[in-house]
Amino acid sequence: MKKELRERGHDINSVDLVESLKICNLTNVSIQTADGKVLIQSPIFPTLLIASRVDWLAEPKQAKCYVQFNPLVTACINRITYRQFDYILYMTYKHRLSRWLYKRLAHNYVQAGVLTPYTIKLSTILRDSGTHQSERGKDNRKRVEEALEELQEKRILIRYETEILRGKRAKVLDAKYVLYPDMDFITEVKKSNSRALKLDEIQSKWVPLPE
């Protein structure tokens, strides 16, 4: 993992890497229905095994590390139901929010087209991405728009429009962004849609094994 991150320009020291794995092991993901009924609750990494440095120095070939994915991730891998996106491009983004927005578009914007822009509110971006929210609304918009401009540089968006949403006495309540996809991204989405359709056709022909 450390080697992969270093090759993609996101090197991390071993102490921080281990700390990140431990945080994921202790962080629960909970999915609920609208009425609050829990459907599933599980840590990001349910099982984590990390050999100590002492163990590694004593027996480097025997010292092992093990990470178990969240069951939802495992199910997606086993059933091949995840959507493809350009991982190499994803890792080149400078801003963390740019990576989040790109992944959001790759997963949700399945109807990407010249005549079908994607609309999303500033409040939604800040809430769903977990981005730190400044007390100054201008700072929040600046951070989001820096990310959108990077998406333009990477040919994901050809342009975007901003609409400031105001309340009483012209107080700024929110902002709405209308995102127009670049042809490069539209092509990428069409390939992903085609792949998903072919996988659905293949899976529909699978015959379950007798119990």
Query: Structural domain boundaries of the chain?
Result: 2-79, 87-189
What is the pTM assigned to this prediction? 0.75
Render pLDDT for 132-143 as a digit per residue (tens, 0 to 9): 888 887 899 999
Tokens of 177: 């962004």
Say which residue, 210 or 181, is predicted with more confidence: 181
Please report the pLDDT score of residue 211 as a whole number: 54
Q: Is residue 26 over pLDDT 60?
A: yes
| Pairing mode, strands 48-50 and 65-67 | antiparallel
Confidence at residue 88, expressed as pLDDT on a 0 to 100 scale:
86
User: What are the beta bridge partners of residue 118?
Assistant: 179
**Separation in Å, CA 183 to CA 112, 120, 155, 157, 158:** 9, 20, 8, 8, 8
Between 186 and 201, the more confident residue is 186
pLDDT value at 55 more than 80: no
3 pLDDT higher than 70:
yes
Candidate from 76-90, 135-149, 164-178 with smallest mean pLDDT: 76-90
Average pLDDT over residues 30-54: 84
pLDDT for 176 equals 96
pLDDT over 60 (residue 30): yes
CATH 1.10.10.10 fits 87-189, yes or no: yes
